[in-house]
Amino acid sequence: MADLRPILLVEDNPRDMELTLAALSRCQLANEIVVARDGAEALDWIYRQGEFAERPPGDPAVVLLDLKLPKVDGLQVLQQVKSDPQQRQIPIVMLTSSREERDLVRSYQSGVNAFVVKPVNFRDFFEAIQDLGVFWGILNVPPPPTAAPTT
């Protein structure tokens, strides 16, 4: 199982982070869950810079990205990753409480792979996260790490 890619969770709300981690844990995924608490930390992890300069190479199975983040917001993270030919194949799921149509439209225009509104109800939230974890951590087949980027 050495080829399992980690799941990068980018979330600044401690409650949502704990609920998300609990739901993913319940799925019994073998994927490591890496947490970034703001957009700058997420970019450092993706690009292996700053405190993550020594992390092993490889892309995450998926980035679960909150929209409203400190330092660098989720939309800026999305735009940077999707505009980079070396990184744009990374699946990014916007996981947000925003129901604003402009956030949805801007996310898809920027290349998001999915846009999920965090359910308010605890049980619905838990189930939504489990479904995301199973799909992106187990069912989805990512491109091989050596796939040549297309321009």
Whether the per-residue pLDDT at 150 is higher than 80: the answer is no
DSSP the chain: -TTPPPEEEE---HHHHHHHHHHHHHTT--S-EEEESSHHHHHHHHTT-GGGTTSPS---SEEEE-SS-SSS-HHHHHHHHHT-TTTTTS-EEEEES---HHHHHHHHHTT-SEEEEPPSSHHHHHHHHHHHHHIIIII--PPPTTPPPP-
Give the chain's domains with CATH numbers.
Answer: 7-139 (3.40.50.2300)
pLDDT winner (highest mean) among 65-69, 128-132, 143-147: 65-69
Q: How confident is the model at residue 109 (pLDDT cuts 50, 70, 90)?
A: very high
The mean pLDDT of the chain is: 87
Give the C-alpha separation, 98 to 68, whole Å.
8
Among 1-15, 112-126, 129-143, which stretch is predicted with the lowest mean pLDDT?
129-143
Whether the per-residue pLDDT at 139 is higher than 60: the answer is yes
Whether the per-residue pLDDT at 46 is higher than 80: the answer is yes
More confident residue, 15 or 44: 44
Q: Is the pTM of this model over 0.95?
A: no
